[in-house]
Amino acid sequence: MKNVAIIGCGAIAKNHAEALLDSPHAALTVVCDLLPDRAAKAAAAWKARAVTDYQAVLADPGVDVVHLCTPHYLHVPMALQALAAGKHVLTEKPMALTAVEGEQLVKAARESGKTVGVCFQNRFNQTAAHLKSVLDSGKLGRIKGARAFVTWHRDQAYYTADPWKGTLAQEGGGVLINQSIHTLDLLQWFLGPVAELKGTASQRLLEGLIEVEDTAEATLRFTSGATAIFYATNCHVVDSPISIDVEGENGSARLCEDLTISYSDGTTETVQESGRAAGVKSYWGIGHKLLIDSFYLALSGGSGKVIDAAEGLKAIRLLEAIYTSEKTRKWETIG
């Protein structure tokens, strides 16, 4: 049984707490937030001890694992300190603001011998996991290409509600690093390494109101020879379901909530996303519970999968290349 602390008791902390309360391998013992009210409320709801200084969490020998549910710019500094204090880390996305920062965490994780996990929970959706296994099996034949769309609604009120959002220093970017990072991760998970991309990232409806981009697009070339088109915006009027289509020689797959695979021999295969989350934040998916269960199964010596720091870094390299391509107007090689 691992004793766990959640650092950052804002919106996403609930997904972590509920998964932990349900886990046979983890006990949520400490919750930490700079804001005393948030820490106290979380502690009461989840029957944990409240602290306001995360250094107290790191100094506590009773804490085995920390979950980082803090603003983006704190993920790497907090993760490095937690590893140095001998803790395992499960960090919310993005694992870093930049690839250089991410590499530091990959190195520190390797040298510490501790586990670092990154919350790309959508990989655990039944539909995404099935599509990945079909693609890996070769059943769809050579993959020619894909397209992915993320069209969500984030208005000025969203950006003013939390001081770190919409700022380059603390959020590190907009729709790319925050909302559509999951979809970039899925694209490279499904189709393999990206060789180069060309893209744009700019402000449209939120122009002048925030520092970060509200809209981005890219064309990607994979090392396999496949290509993909990607579009993401926070300027839609609703949060539409994300859609990813993959075109293979032997058929095509459409992932949009449910998964439908149509083979060229006329057969089709459908997987319904059985664990669809309810409520206004349903587009976050139910993957947190699956990812957290898997993380603790792995920590307990079982067969769980961890999306480690090196895996988490792949999407950072892609979105950073889109930011660079916006400036250079050129194809950017992915290192």
Beta carbon nearer to ligand NAD, 7 or 28: 7
Beta carbon nearer to ligand NAD, 34 or 44: 34
Beta carbon nearer to ligand NAD, 154 or 198: 154
Residue of closest CB approach to ligand NAD: 10
State in angstroms the smallest separation of the CB of 206 from ligand NAD: 17
- Cβ atoms 249, 291 nearer than 8 A: no
Q: Is 280 exposed, middle or buried (0-12, 13-18, 19+ CB in 10 A)?
A: exposed
Number of neighbouring beta carbons within 10 Å of residue 133: 10
State in angstroms the smallest separation of the CB of 124 from ligand NAD: 11
Element (H, E) at 51: strand 49-51
Beta carbon nearer to ligand NAD, 54 or 159: 54
Query: What's CA 162's distance to the chain center, in Å?
Result: 19
C-alpha–C-alpha distance, residues 318 and 307, integer Å? 17
Residue type, 36: P
Point out which residues bind ligand NAD (CB under 6 A).
7-12, 32-35, 38, 54, 69-72, 74, 92-93, 119, 121, 162, 178, 284
Find where tokens 């700022």 sit. Answer: 167
143, two tokens: 């993959």
State in angstroms the smallest separation of the CB of 268 from ligand NAD: 30
Beta carbon nearer to ligand NAD, 227 or 240: 240
State in angstroms the smallest separation of the CB of 13 from ligand NAD: 6
> DSSP string of 199-250?
EEEE-STTTTT-SS-SEEEEEEEETTS-EEEEEEESBSSS-PPPEEEEEETT
Beta carbon nearer to ligand NAD, 14 or 144: 14
C-alpha–C-alpha distance, residues 97 and 238, integer Å? 27
State in angstroms the smallest separation of the CB of 249 from ligand NAD: 33
Beta carbon nearer to ligand NAD, 33 or 311: 33
State in angstroms the smallest separation of the CB of 291 from ligand NAD: 9
Beta carbon nearer to ligand NAD, 90 or 226: 90
State in angstroms the smallest separation of the CB of 9 from ligand NAD: 5
Q: Is 139 exposed, middle or buried (0-12, 13-18, 19+ CB in 10 A)?
A: middle
- Cβ atoms 102, 172 nearer than 8 A: no
State in angstroms the smallest separation of the CB of 7 from ligand NAD: 5
C-alpha angle 294/39/313, rounded to 5°?
A: 40
67, two tokens: 């979950």
